Amino acid sequence: MTDATPSSTPSNTEASPSQPDAATTGSNKNTAPKKRMSPRARFILRALGGLVLLIVAAWVLYYQFRGKYLESTNDAFVQADSVTVSSKVTGYVDQVLVADNQIVKAGQPLVRIDARDYSAQAAQAKAQIDAASASEEAANAQLAEQQAAIAQAKAQLASADEDARFATAEVERYTPLAASGAETRERLTTLRNQQAQARSAVAARRAALDAAQLRVRSLQAQVRQAQAQGETAKAQYDAASVNLGYTEIRAAVDGRIGDKQVRVGQFVSPGTRMMTVVPTRFYVSANFKETQIGIMRIGQPAIIKVDALPGVEFHGHVESLSPGTGAQFSLLPPQNATGNFTKIVQRVPVRVAVDATPEETRAFVAGLSVTVEVNTIAAKDELRALRERNSESNATRKEPQ
């Protein structure tokens, strides 16, 4: 037994090497040193933080002094003042001289209509002009002849008057002689007959002169009638010539042919749409919100980005602002006087000119979507002055009377 006791004590008090003491383990955890961030990491973190703050500050400054004055919209489209080509006369199309999408110059022939009817009308009017001119010449010749006849009639009347005066004088001279018996009664009777014949001749000559003068007035009327017929024929000839010119339809502007609908042999009448000429000079129609146009003014610079040309920017300027919103010029303008009302932000069409040559905008097509950004910073002083005046006005109204 003396050997068993000592041997059993160590077995009970000796700790197993695989099981560490709990107190020792807890003490090691509490006293272990913390892992510190390296100076390089701290520098990088601080640099990133400073960079973020710098970016935020730069953005705030940019927005405050420039960004808030930039108004942009993607509700914008490329536009052109297209010209619709239509007929002004009736007829069958004889020739179509252009193809789809062809580039044309102003004055270039596009379509020819059969001109035979209008050529015949012009020739007929020209013949009527010649006939009226001939009638006028004939009437003038007759008038000149009648003037000579009037002169002759006046001379004959003067001669008859002289004969009548002589016959009257003879009668007056022989009457007392016949009464005293110095001359016979037969002689006095003969003289009286001659006096009566002379007076009849005077009346006849005077009637002939009056008839000749009436004939002159008639011939003068014929001359005026011939002149009027000539003017009418000339007007008809001018109208026929104009219509003859309308049979050849020409381009009004430089551009490109689009929407060509006319065909050879087609019957057209005035107003028939044949094709459209899209000019090479484009502009942008941008619909800005009503909250964006407060200080938008004509001439302010703009940047235009075309969706069809990514990465390309075009410069332009505000050319004009519409006098009304798009809704006001719609076919059925909204009426908000009755019923429930829901406020909708209105848009105002703004025309933006593209400051580029036709060569630079050759890829433009009417209707393309674009994004427009207008710089209104030039009007910031105007906005500030407006606010100051408004504040002063409000302060004046609030002062007690």
**Domain coverage including residue 124:** 116-245
Residue 32's pLDDT is what? Answer: 52
Residue 305 C-beta-side C-alpha neighbours within 13 Å: 11
Does the pLDDT value for residue 255 go beyond 60? yes
Lowest mean pLDDT among 173-177, 370-374, 390-394: 173-177
- For the domain that residue 185 is a member of, what is the CATH number? 1.10.287.620
The pLDDT-based confidence of 2 (bands split at 50, 70, 90) is very low
- Measure the CA angle with vertex 387, ends 383 and 391; round to 5°: 170
C-beta separation of 320 from 281 below 8 A: no
The pLDDT-based confidence of 112 (bands split at 50, 70, 90) is very high
For residues 256 and 349, state if they share a domain. Answer: yes
Domain boundary among 215, 245, 275: 245
Domain boundary among 199, 228, 245: 245
The pLDDT-based confidence of 104 (bands split at 50, 70, 90) is very high
Does the pLDDT value for residue 12 go beyond 70? no
With a CB cutoff of 8 Å and minimum separation 6, the contacts of 120 are none
- Average pLDDT of the chain is 83
Distance of CA 289 to the CA centre of its chain: 27
d(CA 239, CA 233): 10
Higher pLDDT, 68 or 48: 48
Residue 11's pLDDT is what? Answer: 42
119-175: pLDDT as tens digits: 999 999 999 999 999 988 888 888 888 788 878 878 887 887 887 788 788 777 777
Does the pLDDT value for residue 24 go beyond 70? no
1 in a structural domain: no
For residues 179 and 211, state if they share a domain. Answer: yes
Q: How many CB atoms within 10 Å of residue 19?
A: 7
For residues 252 and 382, state if they share a domain. Answer: yes
CA–CA distance from 143 to each of 149, 208, 256 (Å)?
10, 16, 62
Residue 400's pLDDT is what? Answer: 61
261-307: pLDDT as tens digits: 999 999 999 999 999 999 989 999 999 999 999 889 999 999 999 99
